[in-house]
Amino acid sequence: MQIERIEELKQTVAQLLDEAALQGASAAEAGLSIDDGLSVNARLGVVETIEHHCSQGLGITVYFGQRKGAASTSDLSPESIKETVSAACSIARYTSEDAYAGLPDADLLATEFPDLDLYHPWALSPDEAIALAIECEDAARSYHADISNSEGASVSTNKGISVFGNSLGFLQARISTRHSLSCSVLAQRGDDMQRDYWYTVARRAEGLEMARDVGIKAAERTLSRLGGRSLSPRQCPVLFCAELSGSLLNSFVGAISGGALYRKSSFLLDSLGKQIFPEFIHIHEQPHLIGALGSASFDSEGVATRHRDLVRDGILQDYVLGTYSAKKLGFKSTGNAGGVRNLTLTPSAGDFESMLQLLGTGLLVTELMGQGVKMVTGDYSRGAAGFWVENGVIAYPVEEITIAGNLKEMFRNIVAVGSDVDYRGNVRAGSILIEQLSIAGNH
């Protein structure tokens, strides 16, 4: 894939929009994406898979007044473009009118497109990828005699181009890369068997952790889980490690997103301007961070993204809206079609060791299982594993437990946010300490 194709791909999207107008659409929006990459999986020192992947696709949404139709294809030929537009138009002519269907307001579309430094191709050959995967897994398998088996190590590199345009005159492209390395191993001591993993991801290959370090971290995490116990029922402080903080923040974002709000299926309904977190909590979007995994200058509808506070001083400042949900609610799009970007929770405390000291005696959660979150009520109940902590020191691993509470109360009862931020995704947050949750086990 060559970035020189950008202008060619823009012309393809422009043809889609022109064809939609020729077929009678009053408005249209279209997108095209091309991705290609390499992924390698190795297990027990042997290559399991080598995959070169290349995919392309385009989609068009047309409007006949307030009636909407959409179609997509992977064929970029002129004949296919006409057929795809025709299919979308046929659908639109037979759908019911929706008063909220349509394009974004023209004044909300992005007009500035800074270089966010998201494109760094990795000239990685299959042989080099195999060597990295095997080096990573070997480091894990040789770390300790109790490492008994492996689920393998994987290396992947991907680069993509996407183009989006609409009949309001918006037509822009963005290019990006994403590289990753991961490893998962098993440990056994007597009848006790555990597994865990570690991974690294970055826009630049140079930003990845060393293959050996990833393997060792996977081994250390797996070994630390041996000898896990359950717990008797209790209520205690709970510390969510940084890798899990994103799950709490994603529940928060889901509750303030347009779809949940206009369907009245959110436990944070009518919470705008209200205190929902302690005063020290600051949650904000940073969509223009250089090189970050969630950065973008416009959303999936072409609306400009911007730095903004979702929560300031613990008070909900804004919702997360795309065009349709914004119109349904009587607001304007917040530039969140496709989700939030680089959602950031500002730390209020120190590193992980400091957070353990703040926890004192309680539960450190390092793994969550199941989908036990009821968005309508905020009731929260999930399987968990982690460690019991006494006087700020990890005492022993814990497994086969359930943690339960209500997200409204959990948000209000956050005690501290650590500076041990996990940067490997679209949510940038450290560990989160909650004052008290209910714990159930089979002890």
Considering the domain architecture, whether residues 335 and 436 belong to the same structural domain is answered as yes
Residue 172 C-alpha from the chain's centroid: 23
SS3 helix, strand, coil % of the chain, rounded to 5? 25, 40, 35
Q: How many residues does the chain have?
A: 443
The answer to whether residue 436 scores a pLDDT higher than 80 is: yes
Rounded to whole angstroms, what are the CA distances from 319 to 259, 276, 277, 282, 325? 11, 13, 15, 15, 10
Question: What pLDDT is stored for residue 26 in this prediction?
Answer: 96
Among residues 368, 161, 163, which one has the least CA distance to residue 248? 368
Question: What pLDDT is stored for residue 4 in this prediction?
Answer: 73
Give the pLDDT mean for 166-185.
Answer: 97
**How many domains does the chain fold into?**
2
Considering the domain architecture, whether residues 108 and 19 belong to the same structural domain is answered as yes
Domain boundary among 166, 197, 224: 224
Considering the domain architecture, whether residues 176 and 259 belong to the same structural domain is answered as no
Residue pair 437/404 in contact (Cβ under 8 Å)? The answer is yes
Residue pair 391/359 in contact (Cβ under 8 Å)? The answer is no
Q: Which residue has the tokens 């370090």?
A: 213
Give the pLDDT mean for 416-438.
Answer: 97
Measured distance CA(353)–CA(257) in Å, rounded:
34
Considering the domain architecture, whether residues 17 and 111 belong to the same structural domain is answered as yes
Considering the domain architecture, whether residues 193 and 310 belong to the same structural domain is answered as no
Considering the domain architecture, whether residues 90 and 210 belong to the same structural domain is answered as yes
Provide the pLDDT confidence category of residue 370 given band limits of 50, 70 and 90: confident
pTM: 0.95
- The enclosing H or E element of 185 equals strand 171-189
Among residues 25, 1, 26, 28, which one has the least CA distance to residue 14? 28
Considering the domain architecture, whether residues 164 and 251 belong to the same structural domain is answered as no
Considering the domain architecture, whether residues 324 and 380 belong to the same structural domain is answered as yes
Provide the pLDDT confidence category of residue 442 given band limits of 50, 70 and 90: confident
Q: Which residue has the tokens 């009862």?
A: 413
Residue pair 201/169 in contact (Cβ under 8 Å)? The answer is no
Considering the domain architecture, whether residues 184 and 78 belong to the same structural domain is answered as yes
- Of all residues in the chain, the percent with pLDDT exceeding 70 is 99
Question: What pLDDT is stored for residue 443 in this prediction?
Answer: 58
Considering the domain architecture, whether residues 288 and 410 belong to the same structural domain is answered as yes
Measured distance CA(205)–CA(124) in Å, rounded:
9
Tokens of 279: 């005063």
Rounded to whole angstroms, what are the CA distances from 252 to 86, 97, 121, 245? 40, 32, 34, 11
Burial 231-247 (b: 16+ CB within 10 A, else e): beeeebbbbbbbbbbbe
- Of all residues in the chain, the percent with pLDDT exceeding 90 is 97
Provide the pLDDT confidence category of residue 270 given band limits of 50, 70 and 90: very high
Domain boundary among 186, 202, 224: 224
DSSP secondary-structure letter at 420? -
Question: What pLDDT is stored for residue 441 in this prediction?
Answer: 84
Structural domain containing residue 80:
3-224
CATH number at residue 19: 3.30.2290.10
Rounded to 5°, the CA angle 216-207-249 comes to 85
Give the pLDDT mean for 383-398.
Answer: 97
Measured distance CA(19)–CA(86) in Å, rounded:
9
Burial 46-56 (b: 16+ CB within 10 A, else e): eeeeeeeeeeb
Considering the domain architecture, whether residues 219 and 242 belong to the same structural domain is answered as no
Considering the domain architecture, whether residues 156 and 285 belong to the same structural domain is answered as no
The answer to whether residue 3 scores a pLDDT higher than 70 is: no
Provide the pLDDT confidence category of residue 5 given band limits of 50, 70 and 90: confident
pLDDT per residue as tens digits for the range 79-137: 999 999 999 999 999 999 999 999 999 999 999 999 999 999 999 999 999 999 999 99
**Which residues have C-beta within 8 Å of that of residue 156, sequence separation ≥ 6?**
37, 38, 39, 40, 179, 180, 181
The answer to whether residue 1 scores a pLDDT higher than 70 is: no
Domain boundary among 193, 224, 255: 224
